[in-house]
Chains A and B, each alone.
Chain A
């Protein structure tokens, strides 16, 4: 029999977890048995200590508050699509919280018996409900719990299989070769220069044998052969050859079967045709790309910006993998930052090689902003600066020119890698940000003692600097100078505080959600400005007010703050949790949409994601309240 009302309920429930995990038949059955309850404002669904109902509830319209009876504390607010009263599922005991309509509401009541039947057959729903039951009964202040709830959901989603095994393998297409009458010493020098672990011995372009690092170790270093002997004395032969379209799986099997680490790739796959490449075990490891140390090694071997770009793309896959595996975001950002740092260091080293002369004096390359805070997971604009040792006036122009042209090379390479040029030109190649130590000191002093809006903005970017390459001493002197300036002009912190409060968090998602009102990103939520930056700004301000410079990452800053101000430990801990969630969220969105993840289309968010974000705003509000009071900002606002 047609049931129009049930169909309408079906349409509503299907969008919300855990109902979206049910089969059509299961959900249709649930929908046909829903009871629709109307509640006036202030009416209770159940009270603390009531015997549990045979139903749990889903909010259709309005809002239900979950209260702790003893002090009437609003523990949670449920609106459209939220589930509550899951305690019914344990079928025993009494409610430990009260549920009351805080607005006129319509709720669906769903038989727990019916759901139980589904749970036994649908393990994903089971997991979800267990997780959400666990969190519903806890203190909302610890956002950790919300994290676990959504962690569960993520686990429920299927990971797409990665069919790397059947991809054709990428191998070195310009194999280094030598002839049979090359001496071992010549071959070794060639291998060293080319930074390779193997060399193929060829005769008329056809592979005859191969020498690897291992041969040198077992046959030369042990004294069995002299380095003046010819390579054919120690080479392994015959070589194992494969055609060019070998798949990764084939290659792995071939290596295992023959107990070798290198395969020769030839035109037709036999030893009788031209050698076109060499595939090493290392190449396979790189393709699997699940190992950051491999990536960093790759960076060190790289000789071109294009190679760095390839490695950075691999790193992106690494992020995706980590996120899928629920590796904590703090760890992910640490790994990615060290890869980024290695890439930047390599870009600088390559650029220095291209310069005609070595640098006239020592310098330090600074990463700024998110890269400086080691929070840059996805490729974004590059923000960097350069500081060089003070030089006599007569040498100044020459020195500065040198570093600017060096910086141009570096930024160009980083651009190739994928760190696009900063549209605001906050880069070391800009003469404004390529300065001597004394100039930087003056500059910071000027920003601190004569702040205006632009200078404060610059402070928020430049204060998060990290030395990536060069002279640490220069940077330490610079940091000391900044604190000296701040200490002589403390009102600066109040300005910084005002800046930190510039973007209050949206309080509720559903009604007052702040979206961008104009421009290209109209009606999208700017997670960077509205949620991440307020956290970053707050952490920076608070550590600066404690005279701490060495902590740059927002998470480390909050951790440090929990030690300095144990009385605010809960708040700072909730900030860390919220920040981790926000960063994960932005990264996921960025990976999903192949962009910076900054602008989020709210309509595309699942209920769970919306809740996840909502949970973070509370922490932002709390930390902003603390700043407002501590720095007496109410009257300034």
Chain B
């Protein structure tokens, strides 16, 4: 089996990333490393659009650690001028830019086996996986939580059927919207939302990581 993987001849950074998943992980919320992240993209089309920037910050034991954060700006070949107005990242802006491959290397090295958190995570994860695919690599192996979904587990959520935007959650949780529409700013806000949701859930009952992954159709367990 191992031989077969080697045979595929993946680059070292991927192997190192993959090695983090060999050991089984604890489900204790207090020691789990979470990474809240957000991507800013040229558009919403997963195949045609590209990631402009990635921002992320880690959470361990209810604490966001600024020293364990990431902020990447990617060089663009395709460039959609219409989205610049929203994100403020110009094609030749002032931030130091790296190419897609370098970005994914740094991102994987940073996230390791952390549980990834994003708001409407499926889109961000899909965008990352597209980069991996372009590098001929498999998909991300991390567990993923979506604050949009997690919120629906709380008693603060009254309408279960509709999707909640980041702005709506900010209003509900009374979070100031600094640096909205930058990847790092949104990641930070998402982090606060996650912490508040977690606080909301743990105040009712002692829970473990597992409980967070049960989907909302089985709310009886929470």
Contact = CB atoms under 8 A, between A and B. Distances in A.
Given A38-B195, A40-B199, A5 B57 contact: yes
A109 interface: yes
Nearest to A6: B66
B69 interface: yes
A426 to B, nearest CB: 50
Given A38-B192, A38-B196, A4 B179 contact: yes
Contacts of B187: 5
Nearest to B188: A5
Contacts of B71: 1-5
A3 B66 contact: yes
B63 A5 contact: no
Given A2-B73, A2-B96, A5-B185, A35 B199 contact: no
A138 to B, nearest CB: 29
A31 interface: yes
Contact of A3 (B69, B192, B199): B69
Contacts of A104: 196, 199
Nearest to A34: B66
Contacts of A35: 63-67
Contact of B182 (A4, A9, A31, A40): A4
Interface in B38-84: 55, 57, 62-67, 69, 71, 73
B36 to A, nearest CB: 11
B69 A37 contact: no
A36 B64 contact: yes
A8 interface: yes
A7 to B, nearest CB: 8
Interface string B175-191: 00011001011011001
Contacts of B203: 40
A28 to B, nearest CB: 11
Main secondary structure of the interface of A (DSSP, over half): mixed
B184 A3 contact: yes
A8 B63 contact: no
B73 to A, nearest CB: 7
Contact of A5 (B66, B195, B196): B66
A400 interface: no
Interface string A27-56: 000011111111110000000000000000
B199 A38 contact: yes
B102 interface: no
A106 interface: yes
Contacts of B64: 35-38
B95 interface: yes
Interface in A29-88: 31-40
Contacts of A2: 71, 73, 95-96
Interface residues of A, number: 21
A1 B96 contact: yes
B198 to A, nearest CB: 8
Given A4-B182, A4-B184, A4-B185, A106 B66 contact: no
Contacts of A109: 63
A31 B65 CA distance: 11
A39 B202 CA distance: 12
Nearest to B57: A5
Nearest to B194: A38
Nearest to B66: A34
A109 B60 CA distance: 13
Contacts of A1: 71, 96
Interface centre among A9, A34, A38, A39 (most CB of B within 10 A): A38
A2 B96 CA distance: 8
Contacts of B179: 4-5, 8
A74 to B, nearest CB: 22
A1 B192 CA distance: 23
A1 B182 CA distance: 15
A40 B66 CA distance: 20
Nearest to A111: B67
A37 B64 CA distance: 6
Given A37-B63, A40-B203, A8 B96 contact: no
Interface in B123-163: none
Nearest to B73: A2
Contacts of B185: 4-5, 8
Contacts of B196: 38, 104
A33 B62 contact: no
Interface string A1-28: 1111110110000000000000000000
A104 B73 CA distance: 34
A507 B63 CA distance: 32
A327 to B, nearest CB: 43
Contacts of A5: 55, 57, 66, 69, 71, 179, 184-185, 187-188
Contacts of B69: 3, 5-6
A4 B55 contact: yes
Nearest to A42: B203
22 contacts: A1-B96, A2-B73, A3-B71, A3-B184, A4-B71, A4-B179, A4-B182, A5-B55, A5-B71, A6-B66, A8-B178, A8-B185, A8-B188, A32-B66, A32-B67, A35-B63, A35-B65, A36-B192, A38-B62, A38-B63, A38-B195, A38-B196
Interface of B: 55, 57, 62-67, 69, 71, 73, 95-96, 178-179, 182, 184-185, 187-188, 191-192, 195-196, 199, 203
Given A3-B184, A4-B188, 10 more contacts: A2-B71, A3-B66, A4-B71, A4-B184, A33-B66, A36-B64, A36-B191, A37-B63, A38-B62, A38-B63
Interface of A: 1-6, 8-9, 31-40, 104, 106, 109
Closest 4 CB pairs of A and B: A38-B195, A4-B184, A36-B64, A40-B199
